[in-house]
Amino acid sequence: MMEWLQLLLPAWIMGILLVFLTAPLGCLMLWRRMSFFADTMAHGTLLGVAIAGALSLPLWLGVAGTAVLLVAILWALHDNRLPNDALLALCSATLLCSGLLFIQHVPSLRPELLSYLFGDLLSIDWPDLPVFTLIIALSLVILYRFWQPQIQFAIDPDIAISEGVNANWQRLIFMLLLALFTVLALRAVGSLLMGALLVIPALSARLLANSPKQMVIWAFVLAQVGVSVGLWSSAALNISTGLSIVLCMALTFAVIFITQKLKNQTQAA
């Protein structure tokens, strides 16, 4: 039992800390209809991993550099004639293919490919936690500072702009925070599942909440449950941590959705 605790406790703490960021960011992403953006950023991390491996750089540096570069590319590609979801799909596919292609030509990265794709939260150790905690705390301070204009811009951009909200500045802050999240979440759930970590708890919370504040709180609670149950289940069943966490969150969504449907049908009858 003690061996399990020594292995799981740092990972569990990391998962709990990460949820403080995933809940508000996931809700903002849903309100702004930018679910594709998380997947695009996540797929870009693979390219960052490959570049870092090829240049013998720290992985976090490659991932962070690629994330910032992607924000700059999306910023440059912003055009009212081009739908955002189409641009994100273009970037997502391009980055994923580029990352996998690079990794194929960096032999040292091939054995760890699955952990980059699906995460390995159990690789988190005690020395990693202070750095992660500091980054998450800094992100939360920034998010708290700009929370109100972010909500205003998410709900109705035109009204927000008329009230003096700087749309470009708020868009940039949001994208940079998501870029920072991808750096943190790579080890937790991998590049393919980051979007799910953001979207599923927020989607479940939307079924239960009656206000933005309630939605963030519900997303936080449901994400904590998903991370905790998923982490301990992965250890007990000897399966990938990232897969287990996302499947637990998806199962929670299914239960809430079915319960809500049955409740509505009963009330209608």
Question: For residue 162, what are its two tokens?
Answer: 């008329």
The predicted pLDDT at position 20 comes to 94
Which residue in the block uniquely carries the two structure tokens 């904590």? 224
Q: Does residue 5 sit within a domain?
A: yes
Q: What is the rounded distance in angstroms from the CA atom of residue 164 to the CA atom of residue 177?
A: 22
CATH number at residue 151: 1.10.3470.10
> Cα-Cα-Cα-Cα dihedral of 88, 93, 96, 98, to 10°?
-110
Q: What are the backbone dihedrals phi and psi of residue 232, each rounded to the nearest 5 degrees, phi first?
A: -70, -30
Q: Does residue 244 sit within a domain?
A: no
Q: Does residue 260 sit within a domain?
A: no
Are 232 and 255 a contacting pair, CB within 8 Å?
A: no
Domain count, the chain: 1
Q: Does residue 2 sit within a domain?
A: yes
Q: Does residue 91 sit within a domain?
A: yes
Q: What is the rounded distance in angstroms from the CA atom of residue 205 to the CA atom of residue 29?
A: 13
The predicted pLDDT at position 247 comes to 93
**In the Cβ-directed half-sphere of 70, how many Cα atoms lie within 13 Å?**
36
Q: What is the rounded distance in angstroms from the CA atom of residue 252 to the CA atom of residue 106?
A: 38
Q: Does residue 51 sit within a domain?
A: yes
Q: What is the rounded distance in angstroms from the CA atom of residue 46 to the CA atom of residue 77?
A: 21
The count of residues in the chain is 269
Which structural domain range is residue 65 located in?
1-189
Q: Does residue 148 sit within a domain?
A: yes
Residue type, 110: R
Quote the pTM value. Answer: 0.86
Q: What is the rounded distance in angstroms from the CA atom of residue 18 to the CA atom of residue 177?
A: 13
Q: Does residue 227 sit within a domain?
A: no
The predicted pLDDT at position 215 comes to 96
The predicted pLDDT at position 136 comes to 92
Helices (H), 32-112: 35-55, 59-77, 84-104
Which residue in the block uniquely carries the two structure tokens 């206000």? 211
Which residue in the block uniquely carries the two structure tokens 């980054």? 135
The predicted pLDDT at position 110 comes to 65
Which residue in the block uniquely carries the two structure tokens 């287990």? 244
The predicted pLDDT at position 238 comes to 85
Per-residue confidence in pLDDT tens, the chain, 269 aa: 566 667 788 889 999 999 999 999 999 989 888 877 777 877 787 888 888 878 888 877 888 888 888 888 877 877 777 777 788 888 888 888 888 788 777 777 766 666 777 777 878 888 888 988 998 999 999 999 999 999 988 888 888 888 888 888 888 898 888 888 888 887 777 777 788 889 999 999 999 999 999 999 999 999 999 999 999 898 888 888 888 999 999 999 999 999 999 988 888 76
Q: What is the rounded distance in angstroms from the CA atom of residue 192 to the CA atom of residue 215?
A: 25
Question: For residue 58, what are its two tokens?
Answer: 């720290």
